[in-house]
Amino acid sequence: MTAIRGARERARSEITAAIKDEARRQLAAEGAAKLSLRAVARELGMASSALYRYFPSRDDLLTALIVDAYNAVGEAAEAARDAVTGPDAKRPVARWSAVCAAVRTWALAHPHEYALIYGSPVPGYTAPRTTAGPASRVGLALIGVVRDAHAAGALKEPAEPLPDAVVGEALALGAELGVELPGAVLTRLVGAWAQLFGLVSFEVFGQFNGVIAARTEFFEQAVHQLARSVGLAAPR
């Protein structure tokens, strides 16, 4: 990304990465609440005060981990979208389901990191500005699938009246993103985006315990229905 100038910068970026790695380890093992700067420093064999040369506070470390986690899910989603090949590549529903499944798989594999980004916002109750970009990658991946389907003429636009305020806002959002999609579709898309994470969160956070056992099948069915709601498949 950025050229490393001297040995000092190199060492600095290496140590920063080592700190994040160790922090991620502790995060995966014990959760965000028990992540301790002193324990990270101890494990790395350095004084705890030295760690503040790299991260001004515990919240800043957490923010860095949040950004990384957003990028990790986003990357998983994009990779899944692009990995759909063969005859399925022409079926938008297949790509949609692949993206959703990738999000779910990543979340189940990294529950604490998932909780960090889609659970309660721990640091200060308002996420910093830097997280906005990476946070939108999954949403953009979903939009991309629908945009392609629309361009290919494979989109069944839902014929249903929606409030003007909602549709207008959706169109403004589409213009901002440079995506040409009907307002109703964009509205449904935002809803499906949120609802996808509702499904994943309930599974990761244990809300389905004792309620649903065949979770993969259930998830796939729900995701298929979300696809239908945005027009990727015929209704009924």
Please state, in angstroms and rounded to a whole number, the distance separating the CA atoms of residues 39 and 29.
13
- Asked if 56 interacts with DNA (CB under 7 A), we say yes
- Measured from the CB atom, is 39 or 179 closer to DNA? 39
Q: What are the structure tokens assigned to 160, written together? A: 């249903």
- Asked if 25 interacts with DNA (CB under 7 A), we say no
- Measured from the CB atom, is 19 or 117 closer to a copy of itself? 117
**Given 29, 57, 79, 221, the residue binding DNA (CB under 7 A):** 57
**Given 38, 209, 221, 225, the residue binding DNA (CB under 7 A):** 38
Return the range that interacts with DNA (CB under 7 A); candidates 39-47, 89-97, 133-141, 206-214. Answer: 39-47
- Asked if 28 interacts with a copy of itself (CB under 8 A), we say no
Do 220 and 101 contact (CB within 8 A), yes or no? yes
Please state, in angstroms and rounded to a whole number, the distance separating the CA atoms of residues 109 and 173.
32
| Closest separation in Å from C-beta 136 to DNA | 27
- Measured from the CB atom, is 52 or 202 closer to DNA? 52
Residues that bind a copy of itself (CB under 8 A): 31-33, 111, 115-116, 118-122, 125-127, 132, 135, 158-160, 162-163, 165-166, 169, 173, 187-188, 190-191, 193-199, 201-202, 205-208, 210-214, 217-218, 220-222, 225, 229, 235-236
Residues that bind DNA (CB under 7 A): 5-8, 11-12, 15, 35-39, 45-50, 52-54, 56-59
